[in-house]
Amino acid sequence: MQIDLSIFNPKARPLIGVDISSFAVKMVELADNGNGDLRIEHYAIEPLPRDAVVDGNIANLEATTETIERCWKRLSTATKYVALALPTAAVITKKIILPANLSEQEMEVQVESEANQYIPFALDEVNLDFQVIGPATSGPDEVDVLIAASRKEKVEDRVASAEAANLKPLVMDVESYAAQAAFELVEKQLPTGGKNQIIAIVDIGSNVMNVTIMKNDQPVYAREQAFGGTQLTQEIMRTYGMSFEEAEGGKRTHSLPENYEAEILRPFLENLGLEVSRALQFFFTSTPFNKIDQIVLAGGCAILPGVVDVVAGRTQVPTLVANPFAGMAPSSRIRPKQLAADAPSLMVACGLALRRFDQ
């Protein structure tokens, strides 16, 4: 979803991918090494105050803006242009088929009339965009077109928070599409480059687990389950009488009491494995597919110690942790070990940063 960008070419200027999630603002800036290979130039993660962003909606504009400012300063870059994303749940998408010979203006008219049927709001209340995906399977005279629409206030809140932090939004994407763009970098690391494989991307965030099943770069199934890292944080708070910030900090720095792994982390991981297994069962019962070749874990929970073994053991499917930066040269200011630990939670920010290289 572009924001009136006809005068800009994102490829011609540096661009920061900015992911505003429920618990943190994450930024990634990529560059071209000059030979077509990507380099990770800068990245930063800045925790958000609790309840600044609730269910993907910006509830406290001032706190969110301050966090974006702090994150950008930590990034230590001169780049001000940013790509943002809307939560997947805030966007209505629909694939339609249109004649291939339409001009852009004719296509706009057709898209608006089609959108009227699918969008439960007046068109003047939404930001509407479309993209030609490619030739339709129905024949050479038609094209597949993806329509995306979101309530204007959802777009405006994100744009306002970035602009208040003195940044310049150029692109508004959708989180699931940004994550899929980053996944293409992960896929290259798989056997046969993931070709003809059925791959489950399991993104376990703070409150929600998103499961997207991909085959040859096309999503064939998606499901959202209410499960996430906040449950682990709450259990730590309850057991040790900690504040939310203390529990989160302890989880990140591995500085919790000795019995944490056996009594709190292990049961949480077993639950996580069970949730992934359930999601795959839903996939099998509601589609013609009956196997998964690979699980790729993303999101903050993907770096919990032991998570790969638990998920692989529970599902009997090869499992790895997503690192879209594995094939990139890091700039000298980036610590590779820290980047590997943070990578699974940077999928959306990385996918947004890739928009700089869009044709």
Q: What angle do CA 326, 328, 330 make, to 5 degrees?
A: 105
**Torsion sign across C-alpha atoms 185, 191, 194, 195:** positive
Query: With 60 as the cut, is the pLDDT of residue 2 above it?
Result: no
Query: With 50 as the cut, is the pLDDT of residue 3 above it?
Result: no
pLDDT-based confidence at 94, cuts 50/70/90?
confident
Residue 121: per-residue pLDDT: 79
Residue 12: per-residue pLDDT: 55
Residue 5: per-residue pLDDT: 39
Span 224-278, pLDDT tens digits? 889 999 999 999 999 999 998 899 889 888 899 999 999 999 999 999 999 999 9
Provide the CB-side half-sphere exposure for 76 (13 A, CA).
5
**Helix locations, the chain, DSSP H:** 61-75, 104-118, 152-164, 175-187, 229-240, 244-253, 260, 266-286, 307-315, 336-342, 347-353
Tally of CB atoms within 10 A around 129: 16
Long-range contacts of 235-239 (CB under 8 A, 24+ apart): 235/264, 235/268, 236/260, 236/264, 239/263, 239/264
Buried b (16+ CB within 10 A) or exposed e, 159-181: bbbbeebebebbbbbbbbbbbbb
Residue 312: per-residue pLDDT: 97
To the nearest whole number, what is the mean pLDDT of the chain?
90
Span 119-170, pLDDT tens digits? 887 888 888 888 888 888 888 899 988 888 888 888 899 999 999 999 999 9
**Torsion sign across C-alpha atoms 348, 20, 206, 337:** positive
pLDDT-based confidence at 288, cuts 50/70/90?
very high
Whole-structure pTM over 0.75, yes or no?
A: yes
Residue 148: per-residue pLDDT: 86
At 13, give phi and psi (nearest 5°): -145, 155
Q: What angle do CA 49, 254, 333 make, to 5 degrees?
A: 75
Q: What angle do CA 245, 74, 16 make, to 5 degrees?
A: 110
Residue 276: per-residue pLDDT: 97
Residue 359: per-residue pLDDT: 56
Q: Specify the residue for token string 């004649």.
A: 99
The region, left, alpha or beta by phi > 0 then psi within -120 to 50, assigned to residue 250 is: alpha
Query: With 90 as the cut, is the pLDDT of residue 206 above it?
Result: no
Q: Spell out the domains of the chain, with CATH numbers in brackets.
A: 10-89+155-181+328-357 (3.30.420.40), 90-152 (3.30.1490.300), 190-321 (3.30.420.40)
